[in-house]
Amino acid sequence: MRKWAHFLLLFFLAAFAALPARGQEPVTFSSMQIALWPEYDRPSVLVIYRIVLADQVSLPTRLSLRIPASAGEPNAVAEIDVAAGGLVNVAYARQVSGDWATLDFTVRSPEIQVEYYDPALDRQDVSRHFEYLWPGDYTIQALSIEIQQPLGASNLRISPSLGAGTPGQDGLTYYLAEIGSVNAGQAFKISLDYDKVSNDLSVIGPEVSIQPSAQIPETVPVEWSKYLPWVLVILVAAVLIGGGVWYWVSGRQKPALKKARQRSRKASTGTSEAAIYCHQCGKRAASEDVFCRSCGTRLRTG
């Protein structure tokens, strides 16, 4: 019995010892593209992470990514949902520690996208300067960088250099470069400098205030031509309704008028019966009587 007890004890100890080791297995990114779009739809830099997990990563898995604390809440934390046919939002928790905010979230898809706006873009007159830092949270087997040149920007300088830019389908110029493998804990830094006379953004974003093209007068003239058809329709409807009401009321009044006219005609023609009395005895007689029914005297009808 002691041998079996010792054997079971060693088995459970080995099992519990193996669990933490499995849970601490590091997550590796098969590829990651970091896109930096300065002054795209806000007067800051839109940072986009396009991540693909390595094949050996078991799903679902939990990730922790650091972004600058000054960026606030991320614009998007999402994963590719094949059934839905696109990106779907993923619930996350944000914790701030110093200059960094850690985003903790669980994904069930190997393809992930995270977006945030970095307000660290330095704008001095016409000069622009921005520095980006990847803190080295995970091992990346293939890291690539994408820089979008802002609309109206000139003299763009990227360090380290990404070579010549290529025009995109949206009319903006893009700079692309493959950085290669980056180990966990290895930071990567890139800086941008360019000149831009105006504060126009590449596209109209939610924070852009749209100004009227011309001063709006205090009194705006009314264009009656727009409302004339409606006025005519209302007038025609009023005439039809008024005519219908008049026809209905006049139809109800005709029988009463007819009866009143008949009574008036009888009165004017003397058709109403007059009382007849006997000139001899004074008794009342009927209209058809010739002689008084009381005294027998011939009645005077004329």
Q: For each of the chain's 302 residues, which pLDDT tens digit applies?
A: 554 444 444 444 454 444 444 444 789 999 999 999 999 999 999 999 999 999 999 999 999 999 999 999 999 999 999 887 889 999 999 999 999 999 999 999 999 999 999 999 999 999 999 999 999 999 999 999 999 999 999 999 999 999 999 999 999 999 999 999 999 999 999 999 999 999 999 997 444 443 443 333 333 344 445 456 777 778 878 878 887 777 776 666 555 555 555 555 544 444 445 677 787 787 777 777 777 777 877 777 66
User: How far is Cα 195 from Cα 150, in angstroms, rounded to an integer?
Assistant: 10
Best CA proximity match to 156, nearest among 39, 32, 34, 33: 39
Pair 297, 281: CB distance under 8 Å = yes
Burial of 205 (0-12, 13-18, 19+ CB in 10 A): middle
Length of the chain: 302
User: Cα–chain-centroid distance for residue 189?
Assistant: 38
| Domain made up of 25-195: CATH architecture | Sandwich (2.60)
Best CA proximity match to 101, nearest among 117, 85, 124: 117
